[in-house]
Amino acid sequence: MAFTNEQLERYSRHIILKEVGAKGQKKLLNAKVLIIGAGGLGAPAALYLAAAGVGTIGIADADEVDLSNLQRQVIHTTADVGKPKVESARETMEAINPDVTVKTYRLYIDSTNITDLIKDYDFIIDGTDNFPAKFLINDACVMAGKPFSHAGIIRFKGQLMTYVPGQGPCYRCVFKEPPPKDAVPTCKQAGVIGAMGGVIGSLQAMEAIKYILGTGDLLTGYLLTYDALKMEFRKIKLPKDHSGCAVCGDEPTITKLIDYELPSCELKSQG
Amino acid sequence: MKITVAGIAKEYPQGLTVRKLIESENVETPEYVTVTINDDFVESGAFDSTVLNEGDNVEFLYFMGGGR
Ligand SMILES: [Zn+2]
C-alpha cells in the first residue's frame, strides 16, 4: 500500500519522526483499536486516534449525548444533544480523517457480548465510568489475550495503567474486586473537571499508538496517577508477582466473565 | 524511623502498623485502599499485623471509577 500525496502531507509530522516513519504510519493505518465508552476518556482518545490515522476504530456506547456531557466529552457538539453518542463520535472522527473506518456499537457491554466485541481488535481502551465495566473489560482482555489501557477519573484526579498479556499485572491484580455498590464515588454527583478526560484519555491514546508502533515503554507494571490540584504526576511501580491473581495468575479462580451489579445511581449510564 | 509514603519522606515512631499509617495519613475510603510496601502487595487482612520498617516505601492505590 503506497501513500497518496494527501496522506504524505496529512501524516508528515508523524512520518518525519524516526520512531514512526512511513513504516509506523502504515502500522497505524492497518491497526484496529476499540474504545469502550464515548465519554470523558473515550472522546479525546477517539479524536487523537482518528487524527493519527488508526485505520479502524471501534466505539461502543449505548447512550445519547446529553447537555451535561459537553463540559468534557469534546467529540460531541451542542447540535448533537439527543443523538446516539456512537453516531456523533463517528461523524466527528470521519470529519477529521476520511482514512479512518469507524465501527459503532450501540450497546452496554456485558459478559455475553464483550468477548465477541473485542476479538477483532489489536488494542482496547477502557473509557467506562463504573467498576463492573472496568472489571469486565479487564477479565475479558486477560482471557482473550488482548492488551488494553485502563483509566479512571474523578474530581481533579486521574490514573491509568496498561495491560499487555504476559507482561506484568492486570487491573484485578491491583484492585482484586469491585468495591461494594456506592462505597466509592464513581457517580455523577462526585463531579470531574472537564480537562481531566482530555489529559488521561489522551494518555490512553498515546499508549495505544506506542503499542501499535512497538516503540517506547508502556505503562505495564505501573500505575500513572495525576493530581491536577497539586499538578503532580506519579508513576507508581506495581508488584511484579501476579502468580496469585484470580484472573491472570498461575491458577485462576475466575474463568468465566462476571456481570457485577451497578451502583444504583448509574443504572442508566454504563459505559 | 524514616519511611516514604506516596513519594514523600516521613518520620514515624517504630512499631507502626499499616493500619495505623492508614489512619495517620487520613487515607480516603480506607476499607478499599490497596497498599504496597517496597513494591509488594499487603493483603488487606494483614494491615493490623504488618509492621513497617525503617526505609520502607509505602504506596496507597485508590479505586477510581469515573470515565464518562
Ligand atoms: Zn491479574
Question: What is the rounded CA–CA span in Å between residue A207 and residue A64?
Answer: 27
What chain A holds in terms of domains, given with CATH numbers, is 12-266 (3.40.50.720)
CB pairs under 8 A between A and B: 86
The b-or-e profile of A53-82 (16+ CB within 10 A means b, else e) is: bbbbbbbbbbbbbeeebbebbbbbeeebee
Q: Chain B contact for A129, CB < 8 A?
A: yes
Q: pLDDT at position A190, please?
A: 87
Judged against a pLDDT cut of 70, whether residue A271 lies above it is answered with no
* A20-75 confidence digits (pLDDT tens): 999 999 999 999 999 999 999 999 999 999 999 999 999 999 999 999 999 999 99
A169 in contact with B, Cβ within 8 Å:
no
* Cα A121-A142-A122 angle, rounded to 5 deg: 15
List the single best residue of A69, A186, A226, A240 to mutate versus B (max B Cβ within 10 A). Answer: A186
Sheet holding B40-42, edge to edge: B8-11, B2-5, B57-61, B34-37, B40-42
Please tell me the distance between residue A185's alpha carbon and the centre of ligand 1 in angstroms.
Answer: 23
What is the pTM (predicted TM-score) of this model? Answer: 0.96
A112's CB contacts (< 8 A; 6+ apart) are: none
ipTM of the complex: 0.95
Q: Which CATH number fits domain B2-61: 3.30.40.230, 1.10.10.410, 3.40.50.150, 3.10.20.30?
A: 3.10.20.30
Contact A185 B41 (CB under 8 A): no
A238 in contact with chain B, both atoms CB, cutoff 8 A: yes
* Rg value, chain A, Cα: 18
Facing B67 at nearest CB: one of A127, A183, A241:
A127
Give the CA distances from residue B47 to residues A136, A240, B31, B41, in Å, rounded to whole numbers and listed in that order.
Answer: 28, 20, 10, 11
Helix then strand then coil, % of chain A, to nearest 5: 35, 20, 45
Contacts of B68 in chain A (CB under 8 A): 37-42, 61, 69, 73, 127-129, 269, 271
pLDDT in tens, A188-231: 678 999 999 999 999 999 999 999 999 999 999 999 999 999 99
Q: Which residue has cell 499538578?
A: A231
- What the block records as the C-alpha cell of B23 is 489512619
pLDDT, residue A118, reads 98
A119 shares contact with chain B (CB less than 8 Å): no
Distance from first CA to last CA of chain B, Å, rounded?
43
Task: Determine whether the interchain pair A131/B65 forms a contact, defined as Cβ–Cβ distance below 8 Å.
Answer: yes
Q: Do A239 and B41 touch (CB under 8 A)?
A: yes
Strand partners of residue A204: none
Distance A220 CA to ligand 1 centre (A): 12
A39 CB neighbours in chain B (<8 A) are: 67-68
pLDDT tens, position by position, A144-179 = 999 999 999 999 999 999 999 999 899 999 999 999
* Domain map (residue ranges) of chain B: 2-61
Distance CA A139, CA A118 (A): 12
Measured distance CA(A50)–CA(A76) in Å, rounded? 14
Residue A19 CA to residue A22 CA, distance in Å, equals: 10
Q: Residue A168's pLDDT is what?
A: 82
Nearest 5°: the CA angle A256, A261, A263 is 145
**B-contacting residues in A 39-58 (Cβ below 8 Å):** 39-42
Expressed in angstroms and rounded, the spacing between residue A9 Cα and the centre of ligand 1 is 43
